[in-house]
Structure 1
Protein backbone atom coordinates (compact mmCIF):
# COMPACT_ATOMS: atom_id res chain seq x y z
CA UNK A 1 0.00 0.00 0.00
CA UNK A 2 2.84 2.36 0.88
CA UNK A 3 4.56 1.47 -2.37
CA UNK A 4 1.37 2.29 -4.25
CA UNK A 5 1.05 5.66 -2.49
CA UNK A 6 4.67 6.49 -3.18
CA UNK A 7 4.25 5.52 -6.85
CA UNK A 8 1.14 7.70 -7.23
CA UNK A 9 2.94 10.61 -5.58
CA UNK A 10 5.83 10.35 -8.08
CA UNK A 11 3.46 10.19 -11.06
CA UNK A 12 1.54 13.25 -9.87
CA UNK A 13 4.77 15.16 -9.29
CA UNK A 14 6.10 14.45 -12.80
CA UNK A 15 2.75 15.31 -14.35
CA UNK A 16 2.64 18.62 -12.51
CA UNK A 17 6.24 19.41 -13.40
CA UNK A 18 5.65 18.56 -17.07
CA UNK A 19 2.62 20.81 -17.26
CA UNK A 20 4.52 23.58 -15.52
CA UNK A 21 7.47 23.51 -17.90
CA UNK A 22 5.21 23.10 -20.89
CA UNK A 23 3.37 26.24 -19.81
CA UNK A 24 6.66 28.11 -19.51
CA UNK A 25 7.69 26.91 -22.97
CA UNK A 26 4.34 28.04 -24.40
CA UNK A 27 4.65 31.49 -22.81
CA UNK A 28 8.22 31.87 -24.07
CA UNK A 29 7.21 30.82 -27.57
CA UNK A 30 4.48 33.44 -27.64
CA UNK A 31 6.94 36.19 -26.69
CA UNK A 32 9.80 35.28 -29.03
CA UNK A 33 10.17 37.52 -32.12
CA UNK A 34 10.98 35.42 -35.16
CA UNK A 35 13.11 36.85 -37.96
CA UNK A 36 11.32 35.66 -41.07
CA UNK A 37 14.43 36.02 -43.22
CA UNK A 38 16.46 33.90 -40.82
CA UNK A 39 13.63 31.42 -40.61
CA UNK A 40 13.48 30.92 -44.37
CA UNK A 41 17.21 30.32 -44.66
CA UNK A 42 17.05 27.37 -42.30
CA UNK A 43 15.41 25.12 -44.83
CA UNK A 44 15.83 25.11 -48.58
CA UNK A 45 12.52 23.28 -48.82
CA UNK A 46 10.55 26.19 -47.36
CA UNK A 47 9.87 28.75 -50.08
CA UNK A 48 7.65 31.82 -49.99
CA UNK A 49 5.22 31.54 -52.89
CA UNK A 50 4.48 34.92 -54.47
CA UNK A 51 2.20 35.87 -57.33
CA UNK A 52 3.39 38.60 -59.65
CA UNK A 53 1.03 41.49 -60.17
CA UNK A 54 -0.24 41.72 -63.75
CA UNK A 55 1.50 44.32 -65.87
CA UNK A 56 -0.41 47.49 -66.49
CA UNK A 57 -2.24 47.42 -69.78
CA UNK A 58 -0.18 49.85 -71.85
CA UNK A 59 -1.84 49.17 -75.22
CA UNK A 60 -2.36 52.45 -77.08
CA UNK A 61 -5.85 53.86 -77.15
CA UNK A 62 -7.82 53.86 -80.37
CA UNK A 63 -7.22 57.10 -82.17
CA UNK A 64 -9.81 59.68 -83.13
CA UNK A 65 -8.28 61.97 -85.72
CA UNK A 66 -9.98 65.15 -86.80
CA UNK A 67 -8.89 67.18 -89.79
CA UNK A 68 -9.25 70.93 -89.33
CA UNK A 69 -8.96 73.37 -92.23
CA UNK A 70 -6.59 76.30 -91.84
CA UNK A 71 -9.33 78.95 -91.96
CA UNK A 72 -11.30 77.47 -89.05
CA UNK A 73 -11.27 79.35 -85.74
CA UNK A 74 -9.07 77.23 -83.41
CA UNK A 75 -11.17 78.29 -80.42
CA UNK A 76 -14.20 76.50 -81.85
CA UNK A 77 -12.59 73.06 -82.09
CA UNK A 78 -13.42 70.66 -79.25
CA UNK A 79 -10.06 69.00 -78.64
CA UNK A 80 -11.16 66.92 -75.65
CA UNK A 81 -12.43 63.92 -77.62
CA UNK A 82 -9.71 63.98 -80.28
CA UNK A 83 -6.44 62.10 -80.02
CA UNK A 84 -5.06 64.00 -83.03
CA UNK A 85 -5.86 67.21 -84.85
CA UNK A 86 -4.62 67.23 -88.44
CA UNK A 87 -4.16 70.84 -89.53
CA UNK A 88 -4.91 71.20 -93.25
CA UNK A 89 -3.14 72.10 -95.50
CA UNK A 90 0.47 72.94 -96.20
CA UNK A 91 1.22 72.95 -99.93
CA UNK A 92 4.33 71.46 -101.56
CA UNK A 93 5.93 73.45 -104.35
CA UNK A 94 7.62 71.82 -107.33
CA UNK A 95 11.08 72.65 -105.93
CA UNK A 96 10.39 71.11 -102.51
CA UNK A 97 9.43 74.21 -100.56
CA UNK A 98 6.43 74.24 -98.22
CA UNK A 99 3.79 76.94 -98.62
CA UNK A 100 1.04 78.02 -96.23
CA UNK A 101 -2.18 79.85 -97.12
CA UNK A 102 -1.07 83.23 -95.79
CA UNK A 103 -0.12 84.47 -92.35
CA UNK A 104 -3.58 83.69 -90.95
CA UNK A 105 -2.92 79.98 -91.56
CA UNK A 106 0.41 80.12 -89.73
CA UNK A 107 -1.22 81.93 -86.80
CA UNK A 108 -4.10 79.43 -86.67
CA UNK A 109 -1.61 76.56 -86.72
CA UNK A 110 0.28 77.93 -83.72
CA UNK A 111 -2.92 78.56 -81.81
CA UNK A 112 -4.21 75.08 -82.66
CA UNK A 113 -0.99 73.52 -81.34
CA UNK A 114 -1.25 75.45 -78.08
CA UNK A 115 -4.92 74.68 -77.46
CA UNK A 116 -4.63 71.03 -78.50
CA UNK A 117 -1.57 70.38 -76.34
CA UNK A 118 -3.43 71.83 -73.36
CA UNK A 119 -5.85 68.91 -73.83
CA UNK A 120 -3.07 66.33 -74.48
CA UNK A 121 -4.16 66.18 -78.12
CA UNK A 122 -1.48 65.74 -80.76
CA UNK A 123 -1.21 67.97 -83.82
CA UNK A 124 -0.09 66.79 -87.24
CA UNK A 125 0.37 69.01 -90.26
CA UNK A 126 -1.37 67.75 -93.41
CA UNK A 127 0.56 68.27 -96.63
CA UNK A 128 -1.18 68.25 -100.00
CA UNK A 129 -4.94 67.94 -100.32
CA UNK A 130 -6.93 68.26 -103.53
CA UNK A 131 -6.44 71.97 -104.34
CA UNK A 132 -3.15 73.84 -104.43
CA UNK A 133 -2.59 77.35 -103.15
CA UNK A 134 -1.36 78.38 -106.62
CA UNK A 135 -4.52 77.09 -108.25
CA UNK A 136 -5.69 73.82 -109.72
CA UNK A 137 -4.98 70.38 -108.32
CA UNK A 138 -2.19 69.76 -105.84
CA UNK A 139 -1.23 66.60 -107.75
CA UNK A 140 1.20 68.01 -110.37
CA UNK A 141 3.10 70.07 -107.77
CA UNK A 142 3.40 67.15 -105.34
CA UNK A 143 4.28 64.71 -108.12
CA UNK A 144 7.19 66.81 -109.38
CA UNK A 145 8.52 67.51 -105.89
CA UNK A 146 8.80 63.83 -104.92
CA UNK A 147 9.88 62.47 -108.31
CA UNK A 148 13.30 64.11 -108.07
CA UNK A 149 15.78 62.95 -105.41
CA UNK A 150 17.00 66.46 -104.57
CA UNK A 151 13.60 68.15 -104.33
CA UNK A 152 12.25 65.15 -102.42
CA UNK A 153 14.95 65.50 -99.80
CA UNK A 154 14.42 69.26 -99.70
CA UNK A 155 10.70 68.72 -99.03
CA UNK A 156 11.54 66.31 -96.21
CA UNK A 157 13.96 68.83 -94.68
CA UNK A 158 11.47 71.68 -94.97
CA UNK A 159 8.79 69.63 -93.24
CA UNK A 160 11.19 68.67 -90.45
CA UNK A 161 11.96 72.36 -89.91
CA UNK A 162 8.25 73.03 -89.51
CA UNK A 163 7.88 70.14 -87.08
CA UNK A 164 10.59 71.61 -84.86
CA UNK A 165 9.65 75.27 -85.22
CA UNK A 166 5.92 74.79 -84.67
CA UNK A 167 6.20 72.08 -82.00
CA UNK A 168 4.23 69.59 -84.12
CA UNK A 169 3.72 65.95 -83.25
CA UNK A 170 4.13 64.74 -86.81
CA UNK A 171 3.15 64.99 -90.48
CA UNK A 172 0.20 63.72 -92.51
CA UNK A 173 0.71 63.19 -96.25
CA UNK A 174 -2.27 63.65 -98.56
CA UNK A 175 -1.02 63.00 -102.11
CA UNK A 176 -4.25 62.83 -104.13
CA UNK A 177 -3.69 60.46 -105.81
CA UNK A 178 -0.73 58.38 -107.07
CA UNK A 179 -1.89 57.51 -110.58
CA UNK A 180 0.93 55.30 -111.89
CA UNK A 181 3.57 52.85 -110.74
CA UNK A 182 6.13 55.67 -110.94
CA UNK A 183 3.95 57.82 -108.67
CA UNK A 184 3.64 54.94 -106.23
CA UNK A 185 7.42 54.32 -106.15
CA UNK A 186 8.24 57.98 -105.66
CA UNK A 187 5.64 58.28 -102.90
CA UNK A 188 7.04 55.19 -101.15
CA UNK A 189 10.59 56.59 -101.33
CA UNK A 190 9.40 59.95 -99.98
CA UNK A 191 7.50 58.32 -97.10
CA UNK A 192 10.50 56.18 -96.12
CA UNK A 193 12.84 59.17 -96.07
CA UNK A 194 10.36 61.29 -94.11
CA UNK A 195 9.64 58.48 -91.63
CA UNK A 196 13.36 58.06 -90.92
CA UNK A 197 13.69 61.73 -89.99
CA UNK A 198 10.48 61.80 -87.93
CA UNK A 199 11.31 58.62 -86.06
CA UNK A 200 14.67 60.06 -85.02
CA UNK A 201 12.86 62.78 -83.06
CA UNK A 202 9.97 60.57 -81.90
CA UNK A 203 7.33 62.09 -84.18
CA UNK A 204 4.48 60.42 -86.08
CA UNK A 205 3.69 59.95 -89.76
CA UNK A 206 0.26 59.30 -91.24
CA UNK A 207 -1.02 59.11 -94.79
CA UNK A 208 -4.48 59.87 -96.17
CA UNK A 209 -5.51 57.37 -98.84
CA UNK A 210 -8.27 57.05 -101.39
CA UNK A 211 -10.77 54.36 -100.44
CA UNK A 212 -9.74 52.21 -103.46
CA UNK A 213 -13.32 50.90 -103.74
CA UNK A 214 -15.94 52.04 -106.23
CA UNK A 215 -19.13 53.07 -104.41
CA UNK A 216 -21.32 51.82 -107.26
CA UNK A 217 -19.72 48.50 -108.28
CA UNK A 218 -18.07 47.65 -104.97
CA UNK A 219 -14.95 46.64 -106.91
CA UNK A 220 -11.36 47.80 -106.49
CA UNK A 221 -10.53 51.02 -108.32
CA UNK A 222 -7.13 50.39 -109.90
CA UNK A 223 -6.62 53.90 -111.22
CA UNK A 224 -5.06 54.86 -107.87
CA UNK A 225 -1.83 52.98 -107.16
CA UNK A 226 -0.09 52.25 -103.86
CA UNK A 227 2.86 50.00 -103.08
CA UNK A 228 1.67 48.02 -100.01
CA UNK A 229 5.16 47.83 -98.48
CA UNK A 230 5.02 51.63 -98.11
CA UNK A 231 2.56 51.20 -95.25
CA UNK A 232 5.34 49.72 -93.10
CA UNK A 233 6.74 53.25 -92.95
CA UNK A 234 3.66 54.96 -91.52
CA UNK A 235 1.96 55.00 -88.14
CA UNK A 236 -1.57 55.51 -89.46
CA UNK A 237 -3.41 55.05 -92.74
CA UNK A 238 -6.39 57.39 -92.88
CA UNK A 239 -8.91 55.91 -95.30
CA UNK A 240 -11.07 58.51 -97.02
CA UNK A 241 -14.21 56.36 -97.15
CA UNK A 242 -16.36 59.13 -98.58
CA UNK A 243 -16.81 61.21 -101.75
CA UNK A 244 -18.32 58.15 -103.42
CA UNK A 245 -20.82 60.45 -105.12
CA UNK A 246 -18.38 60.91 -108.01
CA UNK A 247 -18.20 57.21 -108.90
CA UNK A 248 -20.05 56.28 -112.11
CA UNK A 249 -21.64 59.70 -112.54
CA UNK A 250 -22.68 62.13 -109.84
CA UNK A 251 -25.04 60.64 -107.25
CA UNK A 252 -25.16 62.31 -103.83
CA UNK A 253 -26.65 59.17 -102.24
CA UNK A 254 -23.29 57.44 -102.84
CA UNK A 255 -21.43 59.92 -100.62
CA UNK A 256 -20.74 57.30 -97.96
CA UNK A 257 -23.59 54.85 -97.26
CA UNK A 258 -22.97 52.02 -94.82
CA UNK A 259 -22.73 49.18 -97.43
CA UNK A 260 -20.05 51.16 -99.28
CA UNK A 261 -18.07 51.51 -96.06
CA UNK A 262 -18.38 47.77 -95.43
CA UNK A 263 -16.74 47.15 -98.82
CA UNK A 264 -13.98 49.63 -98.02
CA UNK A 265 -13.26 48.04 -94.64
CA UNK A 266 -13.16 44.54 -96.10
CA UNK A 267 -10.83 45.65 -98.90
CA UNK A 268 -8.27 47.27 -96.59
CA UNK A 269 -8.51 44.48 -94.00
CA UNK A 270 -7.78 41.93 -96.69
CA UNK A 271 -4.92 43.97 -98.14
CA UNK A 272 -3.19 44.36 -94.78
CA UNK A 273 -3.68 40.71 -93.86
CA UNK A 274 -2.29 39.61 -97.22
CA UNK A 275 0.88 41.67 -96.78
CA UNK A 276 1.41 41.01 -93.07
CA UNK A 277 0.66 44.58 -92.06
CA UNK A 278 -0.79 45.48 -88.67
CA UNK A 279 -4.45 46.43 -89.03
CA UNK A 280 -4.26 48.76 -86.05
CA UNK A 281 -2.62 51.23 -88.43
CA UNK A 282 -5.90 51.50 -90.32
CA UNK A 283 -8.11 54.46 -89.47
CA UNK A 284 -11.62 54.64 -90.95
CA UNK A 285 -12.65 58.03 -92.26
CA UNK A 286 -16.23 59.34 -92.10
CA UNK A 287 -17.82 62.52 -93.56
CA UNK A 288 -19.13 65.36 -91.42
CA UNK A 289 -20.87 67.08 -94.34
CA UNK A 290 -24.01 66.69 -96.44
CA UNK A 291 -23.91 66.28 -100.21
CA UNK A 292 -26.73 67.89 -102.28
CA UNK A 293 -28.51 65.91 -104.97
CA UNK A 294 -28.21 68.98 -107.17
CA UNK A 295 -24.46 69.46 -107.74
CA UNK A 296 -25.07 73.14 -108.45
CA UNK A 297 -25.97 73.60 -104.77
CA UNK A 298 -23.38 74.06 -102.04
CA UNK A 299 -22.36 71.31 -99.65
CA UNK A 300 -23.74 71.74 -96.12
CA UNK A 301 -21.90 70.95 -92.92
CA UNK A 302 -23.45 68.42 -90.56
CA UNK A 303 -23.72 71.24 -88.03
CA UNK A 304 -25.82 73.28 -90.48
CA UNK A 305 -28.10 70.29 -91.04
CA UNK A 306 -28.69 69.97 -87.30
CA UNK A 307 -29.38 73.67 -86.95
CA UNK A 308 -32.31 73.09 -89.30
CA UNK A 309 -33.69 70.56 -86.81
CA UNK A 310 -32.19 68.36 -84.08
CA UNK A 311 -34.29 65.45 -85.36
CA UNK A 312 -32.05 65.38 -88.46
CA UNK A 313 -29.34 63.70 -86.37
CA UNK A 314 -31.31 60.45 -86.59
CA UNK A 315 -31.45 60.58 -90.40
CA UNK A 316 -29.08 60.07 -93.32
CA UNK A 317 -30.90 62.38 -95.73
CA UNK A 318 -33.02 65.48 -95.42
CA UNK A 319 -34.69 68.06 -97.67
CA UNK A 320 -33.85 71.66 -96.82
CA UNK A 321 -35.26 74.58 -98.82
CA UNK A 322 -36.28 72.19 -101.58
CA UNK A 323 -32.86 70.53 -101.89
CA UNK A 324 -32.24 66.94 -100.72
CA UNK A 325 -28.95 66.26 -98.97
CA UNK A 326 -27.27 62.95 -98.08
CA UNK A 327 -25.00 62.56 -95.06
CA UNK A 328 -24.21 60.26 -92.13
CA UNK A 329 -26.39 60.66 -89.04
CA UNK A 330 -25.60 59.47 -85.53
CA UNK A 331 -26.78 55.87 -85.99
CA UNK A 332 -24.75 55.37 -89.15
CA UNK A 333 -21.64 56.89 -87.58
CA UNK A 334 -22.08 54.61 -84.58
CA UNK A 335 -22.41 51.54 -86.80
CA UNK A 336 -19.34 52.52 -88.80
CA UNK A 337 -17.27 52.95 -85.65
CA UNK A 338 -18.36 49.52 -84.42
CA UNK A 339 -17.52 48.09 -87.86
CA UNK A 340 -13.98 49.49 -87.64
CA UNK A 341 -13.47 48.03 -84.18
CA UNK A 342 -14.82 44.64 -85.21
CA UNK A 343 -12.20 44.57 -87.96
CA UNK A 344 -9.38 45.54 -85.56
CA UNK A 345 -8.83 49.01 -87.00
CA UNK A 346 -6.78 51.47 -84.99
CA UNK A 347 -9.49 54.08 -84.79
CA UNK A 348 -11.53 56.67 -86.66
CA UNK A 349 -10.89 59.79 -88.72
CA UNK A 350 -13.29 62.59 -89.56
CA UNK A 351 -13.41 65.24 -92.25
CA UNK A 352 -13.68 67.65 -90.72
CA UNK A 353 -13.94 68.74 -87.10
CA UNK A 354 -15.21 72.22 -87.95
CA UNK A 355 -18.29 70.71 -89.61
CA UNK A 356 -19.60 68.99 -86.49
CA UNK A 357 -22.64 69.96 -84.45
CA UNK A 358 -22.39 70.96 -80.82
CA UNK A 359 -23.68 69.20 -77.72
CA UNK A 360 -25.68 65.99 -77.77
CA UNK A 361 -25.89 65.84 -81.56
CA UNK A 362 -22.12 65.89 -82.01
CA UNK A 363 -20.85 63.06 -84.21
CA UNK A 364 -17.41 63.33 -82.61
CA UNK A 365 -19.03 62.59 -79.27
CA UNK A 366 -20.82 59.54 -80.74
CA UNK A 367 -17.53 58.09 -82.01
CA UNK A 368 -15.72 58.88 -78.76
CA UNK A 369 -18.34 57.08 -76.67
CA UNK A 370 -18.13 53.93 -78.81
CA UNK A 371 -14.33 53.93 -78.58
CA UNK A 372 -14.41 54.48 -74.82
CA UNK A 373 -16.91 51.66 -74.31
CA UNK A 374 -14.76 49.31 -76.38
CA UNK A 375 -11.65 50.14 -74.37
CA UNK A 376 -13.49 49.60 -71.07
CA UNK A 377 -14.62 46.18 -72.29
CA UNK A 378 -11.06 45.29 -73.35
CA UNK A 379 -9.71 46.30 -69.93
CA UNK A 380 -12.37 44.26 -68.13
CA UNK A 381 -11.50 41.26 -70.30
CA UNK A 382 -7.80 41.77 -69.60
CA UNK A 383 -8.30 41.65 -65.83
CA UNK A 384 -10.66 38.67 -66.01
CA UNK A 385 -7.98 36.71 -67.88
CA UNK A 386 -5.52 37.39 -65.10
Structure 2
Protein backbone atom coordinates (compact mmCIF):
# COMPACT_ATOMS: atom_id res chain seq x y z
CA UNK A 1 0.00 0.00 0.00
CA UNK A 2 1.47 3.30 -1.02
CA UNK A 3 1.71 6.02 -3.61
CA UNK A 4 2.79 5.65 -7.24
CA UNK A 5 4.13 8.86 -8.77
CA UNK A 6 3.77 9.38 -12.52
CA UNK A 7 5.00 12.72 -13.85
CA UNK A 8 5.63 12.84 -17.60
CA UNK A 9 6.72 15.51 -20.09
CA UNK A 10 8.93 17.28 -17.55
CA UNK A 11 11.15 20.00 -18.99
CA UNK A 12 14.83 19.05 -18.98
CA UNK A 13 15.73 22.26 -17.14
CA UNK A 14 13.48 21.09 -14.29
CA UNK A 15 15.31 17.78 -13.92
CA UNK A 16 17.00 18.61 -10.60
CA UNK A 17 13.90 20.39 -9.30
CA UNK A 18 11.83 17.32 -10.06
CA UNK A 19 14.30 15.10 -8.21
CA UNK A 20 14.19 17.42 -5.19
CA UNK A 21 10.38 17.43 -5.28
CA UNK A 22 10.37 13.61 -5.17
CA UNK A 23 12.86 13.72 -2.29
CA UNK A 24 10.66 16.10 -0.30
CA UNK A 25 7.47 14.20 -1.12
CA UNK A 26 8.97 10.84 -0.20
CA UNK A 27 10.23 12.17 3.13
CA UNK A 28 6.73 13.36 3.97
CA UNK A 29 4.95 10.21 2.82
CA UNK A 30 7.37 7.93 4.67
CA UNK A 31 6.12 9.47 7.91
CA UNK A 32 2.85 7.71 7.08
CA UNK A 33 4.64 4.39 6.45
CA UNK A 34 3.76 4.36 2.78
CA UNK A 35 5.61 2.53 -0.01
CA UNK A 36 6.69 4.99 -2.70
CA UNK A 37 7.19 4.10 -6.35
CA UNK A 38 7.84 6.25 -9.40
CA UNK A 39 7.29 5.68 -13.12
CA UNK A 40 10.02 6.54 -15.63
CA UNK A 41 10.32 6.22 -19.39
CA UNK A 42 13.01 4.15 -21.07
CA UNK A 43 16.43 5.84 -21.22
CA UNK A 44 17.16 7.88 -24.32
CA UNK A 45 17.98 11.46 -25.23
CA UNK A 46 14.43 12.60 -26.02
CA UNK A 47 13.96 16.06 -24.44
CA UNK A 48 11.23 16.39 -21.81
CA UNK A 49 10.40 12.70 -22.14
CA UNK A 50 13.43 10.72 -21.01
CA UNK A 51 16.41 12.94 -20.19
CA UNK A 52 14.34 14.70 -17.53
CA UNK A 53 14.63 11.71 -15.17
CA UNK A 54 17.70 11.32 -12.95
CA UNK A 55 16.99 7.60 -12.63
CA UNK A 56 19.98 6.80 -10.43
CA UNK A 57 19.13 9.48 -7.87
CA UNK A 58 15.39 8.78 -8.00
CA UNK A 59 16.07 5.08 -7.35
CA UNK A 60 18.05 6.03 -4.26
CA UNK A 61 15.10 8.05 -2.93
CA UNK A 62 12.03 5.87 -3.56
CA UNK A 63 11.27 2.23 -2.78
CA UNK A 64 10.62 1.13 -6.36
CA UNK A 65 11.06 2.36 -9.91
CA UNK A 66 8.65 1.27 -12.66
CA UNK A 67 10.05 1.51 -16.19
CA UNK A 68 7.42 2.05 -18.87
CA UNK A 69 8.66 -0.50 -21.40
CA UNK A 70 5.82 0.08 -23.82
CA UNK A 71 4.78 2.68 -26.43
CA UNK A 72 7.70 1.68 -28.61
CA UNK A 73 5.80 3.64 -31.26
CA UNK A 74 3.25 6.42 -30.93
CA UNK A 75 -0.14 6.73 -32.60
CA UNK A 76 1.38 7.71 -35.93
CA UNK A 77 4.13 5.70 -37.52
CA UNK A 78 5.42 4.35 -40.80
CA UNK A 79 4.78 1.49 -41.25
CA UNK A 80 3.35 0.88 -37.75
CA UNK A 81 5.50 -0.99 -35.23
CA UNK A 82 4.66 -2.97 -32.08
CA UNK A 83 3.83 -1.37 -28.76
CA UNK A 84 6.49 -3.46 -27.06
CA UNK A 85 8.54 -5.94 -29.09
CA UNK A 86 10.62 -8.31 -26.98
CA UNK A 87 14.06 -7.15 -28.25
CA UNK A 88 13.11 -3.49 -27.63
CA UNK A 89 11.85 -4.28 -24.13
CA UNK A 90 14.96 -6.21 -23.15
CA UNK A 91 17.35 -3.63 -24.64
CA UNK A 92 15.72 -0.83 -22.66
CA UNK A 93 15.52 -2.95 -19.52
CA UNK A 94 19.28 -3.46 -19.72
CA UNK A 95 19.83 0.28 -20.17
CA UNK A 96 17.62 1.05 -17.16
CA UNK A 97 19.51 -1.48 -15.02
CA UNK A 98 22.66 0.58 -15.51
CA UNK A 99 21.03 3.22 -13.27
CA UNK A 100 18.43 1.37 -11.20
CA UNK A 101 19.14 -1.69 -8.98
CA UNK A 102 17.30 -4.83 -10.11
CA UNK A 103 15.69 -5.36 -6.70
CA UNK A 104 14.02 -1.94 -7.00
CA UNK A 105 12.91 -2.21 -10.62
CA UNK A 106 9.49 -3.21 -11.95
CA UNK A 107 9.17 -4.09 -15.63
CA UNK A 108 6.37 -2.28 -17.49
CA UNK A 109 4.01 -4.73 -19.21
CA UNK A 110 1.32 -3.62 -21.72
CA UNK A 111 -2.21 -5.01 -21.63
CA UNK A 112 -2.93 -3.26 -24.92
CA UNK A 113 -1.72 -2.90 -28.47
CA UNK A 114 -2.49 -0.69 -31.47
CA UNK A 115 -4.47 -1.40 -34.60
CA UNK A 116 -2.66 0.30 -37.46
CA UNK A 117 -4.74 1.72 -40.31
CA UNK A 118 -2.78 2.10 -43.52
CA UNK A 119 -3.32 4.94 -45.96
CA UNK A 120 -1.51 5.81 -49.18
CA UNK A 121 -1.22 9.31 -50.56
CA UNK A 122 0.93 10.23 -53.52
CA UNK A 123 2.74 6.92 -53.29
CA UNK A 124 3.60 7.30 -49.60
CA UNK A 125 2.20 4.76 -47.14
CA UNK A 126 1.51 5.87 -43.59
CA UNK A 127 -0.06 4.09 -40.63
CA UNK A 128 -2.23 5.62 -37.93
CA UNK A 129 -2.67 3.72 -34.68
CA UNK A 130 -5.69 3.25 -32.45
CA UNK A 131 -5.38 1.66 -29.01
CA UNK A 132 -6.96 -1.79 -28.79
CA UNK A 133 -7.48 -3.74 -25.57
CA UNK A 134 -6.67 -7.46 -25.56
CA UNK A 135 -10.37 -8.35 -25.82
CA UNK A 136 -10.71 -5.97 -28.81
CA UNK A 137 -8.05 -7.96 -30.65
CA UNK A 138 -9.76 -11.25 -29.80
CA UNK A 139 -12.98 -9.86 -31.29
CA UNK A 140 -11.15 -9.00 -34.54
CA UNK A 141 -9.69 -12.51 -34.69
CA UNK A 142 -13.10 -14.12 -34.24
CA UNK A 143 -14.99 -11.76 -36.56
CA UNK A 144 -12.57 -12.16 -39.45
CA UNK A 145 -11.61 -15.78 -38.69
CA UNK A 146 -7.92 -14.88 -38.60
CA UNK A 147 -5.05 -17.09 -37.47
CA UNK A 148 -2.34 -14.73 -36.15
CA UNK A 149 1.18 -15.62 -37.25
CA UNK A 150 3.85 -15.92 -34.57
CA UNK A 151 6.93 -13.74 -35.12
CA UNK A 152 9.77 -14.98 -32.94
CA UNK A 153 11.95 -11.99 -33.92
CA UNK A 154 9.44 -9.71 -32.20
CA UNK A 155 8.11 -12.07 -29.54
CA UNK A 156 4.60 -11.27 -30.78
CA UNK A 157 1.89 -12.57 -33.08
CA UNK A 158 0.95 -10.59 -36.17
CA UNK A 159 -2.27 -10.29 -38.13
CA UNK A 160 -3.59 -8.21 -40.99
CA UNK A 161 -7.01 -7.84 -42.56
CA UNK A 162 -9.23 -5.62 -44.71
CA UNK A 163 -12.50 -4.07 -43.62
CA UNK A 164 -14.71 -1.57 -45.45
CA UNK A 165 -12.04 -1.03 -48.05
CA UNK A 166 -9.34 -0.25 -45.49
CA UNK A 167 -6.23 -2.26 -44.62
CA UNK A 168 -5.20 -2.89 -41.00
CA UNK A 169 -2.52 -4.75 -39.10
CA UNK A 170 -2.03 -5.57 -35.43
CA UNK A 171 0.91 -6.80 -33.40
CA UNK A 172 -0.91 -9.02 -30.91
CA UNK A 173 -0.22 -8.89 -27.18
CA UNK A 174 -1.39 -12.22 -25.73
CA UNK A 175 -0.51 -14.66 -22.99
CA UNK A 176 2.28 -15.98 -25.26
CA UNK A 177 3.93 -12.58 -25.75
CA UNK A 178 3.44 -11.59 -22.11
CA UNK A 179 4.97 -14.89 -20.98
CA UNK A 180 8.21 -13.90 -22.72
CA UNK A 181 8.17 -10.43 -21.18
CA UNK A 182 7.44 -11.64 -17.66
CA UNK A 183 10.22 -14.22 -18.02
CA UNK A 184 12.63 -11.26 -18.10
CA UNK A 185 11.57 -10.46 -14.53
CA UNK A 186 13.04 -13.77 -13.41
CA UNK A 187 16.05 -13.64 -15.73
CA UNK A 188 17.14 -10.24 -14.39
CA UNK A 189 15.82 -10.84 -10.83
CA UNK A 190 13.59 -7.79 -10.89
CA UNK A 191 11.17 -6.70 -8.19
CA UNK A 192 8.10 -7.49 -10.32
CA UNK A 193 5.78 -6.27 -13.06
CA UNK A 194 3.94 -2.96 -13.45
CA UNK A 195 1.01 -3.31 -15.84
CA UNK A 196 -0.82 -0.71 -17.92
CA UNK A 197 -3.59 -0.98 -17.36
CA UNK A 198 -6.18 -2.78 -15.24
CA UNK A 199 -9.24 -3.58 -17.32
CA UNK A 200 -7.37 -3.88 -20.64
CA UNK A 201 -6.31 -7.49 -19.96
CA UNK A 202 -7.79 -10.91 -20.63
CA UNK A 203 -8.10 -13.25 -17.62
CA UNK A 204 -5.60 -15.80 -18.98
CA UNK A 205 -2.60 -13.52 -18.37
CA UNK A 206 -2.84 -13.35 -14.58
CA UNK A 207 -1.08 -16.69 -13.86
CA UNK A 208 1.95 -15.31 -15.74
CA UNK A 209 2.57 -12.46 -13.35
CA UNK A 210 5.01 -12.91 -10.45
Residues 8-157 of structure 1 aligned to structure 2 (within 5 Å): none
Question: Greater CA deviation, 170-179 or 336-345?
Answer: 170-179
SS in 2 for 1:252: coil
167, 184, 199: which one pairs with 2:30? 199
Residue 168 of structure 2 is aligned to residue 330 of structure 1: no
TM-score by length of 2: 0.76
Partner of 2:193: 348
State how many pairs are aligned: 184
Q: CA shift at 1:329, angstroms? A: 2.2
Residue 4 of structure 2 is aligned to residue 175 of structure 1: no
Q: CA shift at 1:231, angstroms? A: 1.6
Tell me which protein shows more strand as a share of its residues: 2
8 Å CA contact 2:82–2:113 kept in 1: the answer is no
8 Å CA contact 2:149–2:158 kept in 1: the answer is no
Residue 52 of structure 2 is aligned to residue 221 of structure 1: no
8 Å CA contact 1:283–1:347 kept in 2: the answer is yes
Distance 2:149 2:199 in 1: 17
Q: CA shift at 1:170, angstroms? A: 2.1
SS in 2 for 1:332: helix
Structure 1's unaligned 5+ residue stretches are 1-168, 213-219, 273-277, 372-386
Q: Supply the RMSD in Å over aligned alpha carbons.
A: 2.6
Residue 72 of structure 2 is aligned to residue 241 of structure 1: no
8 Å CA contact 1:252–1:326 kept in 2: the answer is no
Higher relative contact order (CA 8 A, sep 6+): 2
Distance 1:309 1:247 in 2: 22
Partner of 1:266: 94
Residues 305-384 of structure 1 aligned to structure 2 (within 5 Å): 305-309=137-141, 316-319=157-160, 321=163, 322-358=167-203, 362-363=204-205, 365-368=206-209, 371=210
Distance 2:168 2:25 in 1: 45
8 Å CA contact 2:137–2:172 kept in 1: the answer is no
Partner of 1:17: none
Instruction: Choose 1 or 2 for highest CA Rg.
Output: 1
Change (3 A) 1:329 1:353: same
8 Å CA contact 1:334–1:366 kept in 2: the answer is no
Distance 1:265 1:199 in 2: 28
Residue 129 of structure 2 is aligned to residue 288 of structure 1: no
Change (3 A) 1:176 1:313: farther
Tell me which protein shows more helix as a share of its residues: 1
